[in-house]
Structure 1
Amino acid sequence: MFTIEGDPFLKYNPYIDSAHSILEKHWHEIVASAVLYHVILLLSPTINTLVFKEHYTSITSKKLKLNFDIHIAALVQSLVSIGLCIPMFGHPLFSSDPVFGSYDFAGFTASVTCGYFIWDLFYCCVYHFDMFGLPYLFHACAALIVFGSTYLPFCQPLIPSFLIFEASTPFVNMYWFFTRLPKGVINDTVFMVNGILLIVSFFLCRIVWGLYAAYRTFSLCFGVTDQLPFGLVPLILVLNFGLNVLNIHWFTKMVTLAYKKFSAAPKKQD
């Protein structure tokens, strides 16, 4: 199976020769990732204008326009995450040493992910707390801590088990865009297909696979807790439980909205 071992960006760390930890090797990639996602945000008005034209430029609400821009950055992040995690499933350490193993490409993936969640936490969830609220603040904090813990190292080869959750996110973002556009702009069939893919991918990736991945990870960890920092496993367990509760909550809302939409359709025809 195709996999990637190395990190071509390590050479750009000016202090690579004196790096003694995984975090010291990859810190520059975290910074670069956070900056990159903010640059994407700054470019998003141009992208949205090209894609949505007057449906975007005519928006008078600054918050709604900003939300369009933030969803562009989130969409890019989800696609990047999917691309990075796929080759990690084939790495030997995914099976042979999932708790203590470490390799450069996994460190790079963790850095790109942590950089995004640092940007997401401070720019979206703190600076614009009024737009996103407590659930998204918890999600950003928890995700940053979970992926940040992999620098110890801790379960670094298992990063793809949780990053694959992002396979549902492109459909989430497309749904968000579709529901903010005027009625009739998006074809009903396109809207329905995206909705089905959203619900199916969210259920399979975040609920079914997510619960299995959590069970597998903590089954591995509980056998070696004496070799890990005190309190690490309980902390990650609590955060993971909270993230799973959020995913179940969001999935329930999706199914409820879908049920209301499709159950209302026949009534309009009568």
Structure 2
Amino acid sequence: MRDPFPFPPLPALNKAVQPYVEQYSLPTLPLHIHEVFGAALFYTFIHLVVSPVISNWFFPKHYPKNSRGKKANWDAHVVSLVQSTLINGLALWVMFTDKERKGMVDWQQRVYGYTGAAGMVQALAAGYFVWDLVTTVLFLDVFGLGLLAHAFSALLVYSFGFRPFLNYYGCVFILYELSTPFLNIHWFFDKLNMTGSRAQLYNGIALLFTFFSCRLIWGTYQSVCVYADMWQAIHSSPDAGYIAATHSNSTTLTDPDANIMAFATDATPIPLWLAGIYVGSNIVLNMLNWHWFFKMITAVKKRFEPPREVKVEAKSLDGAASTGAKPKAVATTLHRRRHSIEDVVPDSDDLRDGTIQ
């Protein structure tokens, strides 16, 4: 499927990145560099202009105008909400409509194959992580090292796609973001004094479900799949006869719009350093996801602590106090309220502070 981005590549940008294309073997970068820069500028515009205007307009009493850190956190959540909603929709659309991507049925095509539509999704994601990395560095005291590691690892992983490398898996791992809209909405409910509301309850259930199913189940399974494909690619390169057979017309063999293996004609086994960096970054992201999920579970478990007995000092009614007698300690059990569905709504400092992505 051709790149559906409505604007063509810019010759000036292509020329500017050409040295990096040759140095780091990124042949598809010139086809998508305008999308990377466009996405980074788009999200910067939302951060610096759209979020302050819209937030001041609709939530003048809650938008933190006078706090650098809180304002940056609020604006970043607006950007994250827009980006996650947009990129999820695009990734799902490409996965359902890109017939060439659907045809990537073996490890050679999944590792070395390329389609313009999947490349666009990867480029837009990379543009967001460029913005994310820069913003996290500028406000490191607000977002912390965990989010810095998340931004750097994600940008590194999506940049490898311009080799092209694992272009097929770009849309797959974007679906991590399916839980992010609910995460941001949960955060905004807290800031709008809607903590514990029925709306937050329903959103909290959706958050836990999507976080667990998309990031932990889907994400871990796909990580195993990509490790298996990379293991094959470390030990062997695409067969030249196999590449030629993927398209019958030799004149379009190197045309990326006609042949998904167009960039694999001179492909060699992937180097160990590339596989190592990719696996390391992927493990960092997965560990952060499990870490954040267990923080949510810990927050929920606190609401189900068993009742405890406490000693309550009680004065005797028969005048023990006036006679100097020591009042008896009466053991009283503090009964907890009956559990309700509201108990499943995750509530932790990480969620309230926005340190989970």
TM over 0.5: yes
SS at match of 1:54: coil
- From 144, 147, 154, the equivalent of 2:158 is 147
Alignment partners' CA distance in 1, 2:88 and 2:221? 19
Matched, 1:52 2:28: no
* Number of aligned residue pairs: 262
Deviation per residue, 1:173-200 (Å, 9 max, x gap): 0111112232xx4662111111111111
- From 185, 202, 210, the equivalent of 2:211 is 202
- TM (norm. structure 1) is 0.88
The answer for the alignment partner of 1:6 in structure 2 is 3
Q: Output aligned runs, 1:102-121, within 5 Å.
A: 102-121=114-133
The percentage of counterpart residues that share the same residue type is: 33
The answer for the alignment partner of 2:69 in structure 1 is 63
Deviation per residue, 1:86-120 (Å, 9 max, x gap): 02323333433211111111121111111110111
Contact kept, 8 Å, 2:43 with 2:131, in 1: the verdict is: yes
The answer for the alignment partner of 1:100 in structure 2 is 112
Alignment partners' CA distance in 1, 2:302 and 2:59? 27
Alignment partners' CA distance in 2, 1:255 and 1:9? 43
Contact kept, 8 Å, 2:69 with 2:139, in 1: the verdict is: no
- From 238, 241, 246, the equivalent of 2:283 is 241
Contact kept, 8 Å, 1:88 with 1:157, in 2: the verdict is: no
Q: Output aligned runs, 1:150-161, within 5 Å.
A: 150-161=161-172
Contact kept, 8 Å, 1:199 with 1:255, in 2: the verdict is: no
Alignment partners' CA distance in 2, 1:160 and 1:262? 38
The answer for the alignment partner of 2:40 in structure 1 is 34
Matched, 1:89 2:95: yes
Give 2:127's aligned amino acid: G
Cα drift, residue 81 of structure 1: 1.2
Cα drift, residue 48 of structure 1: 1.6
Matched, 1:129 2:198: no
Cα drift, residue 36 of structure 1: 0.6
Cα drift, residue 215 of structure 1: 0.4
Contact kept, 8 Å, 1:44 with 1:69, in 2: the verdict is: yes
Please list every run of at least 4 consecutive aligned residues from structure 1 whose deviation after the TM superposition is greater than 4 angstroms. 15-20, 261-264
- Cα separation, partners in 2 of 1:157 and 1:269, compared to 1, 3 Å: closer
Deviation per residue, 1:216-270 (Å, 9 max, x gap): 1111110111421341112111111111110000001112223335669x83689
Give 1:253's aligned amino acid: K
Contact kept, 8 Å, 1:13 with 1:25, in 2: the verdict is: no
- Cα separation, partners in 2 of 1:262 and 1:89, compared to 1, 3 Å: farther
Contact kept, 8 Å, 2:133 with 2:152, in 1: the verdict is: yes
User: Which structure is higher in helix share?
Assistant: 1
Alignment partners' CA distance in 1, 2:63 and 2:232? 53
Q: Which is greater in Rg? A: 2
Give 1:251's aligned amino acid: F
- Cα separation, partners in 2 of 1:52 and 1:156, compared to 1, 3 Å: same
Contact kept, 8 Å, 1:41 with 1:73, in 2: the verdict is: yes
Give 1:254's aligned amino acid: M
Alignment partners' CA distance in 2, 1:141 and 1:16? 23
- Cα separation, partners in 2 of 1:186 and 1:179, compared to 1, 3 Å: closer
Matched, 1:213 2:222: yes
Contact kept, 8 Å, 2:91 with 2:175, in 1: the verdict is: yes
Alignment partners' CA distance in 1, 2:205 and 2:176? 17
Cα drift, residue 159 of structure 1: 0.9
Alignment partners' CA distance in 2, 1:155 and 1:46? 39
Alignment partners' CA distance in 2, 1:211 and 1:141? 20
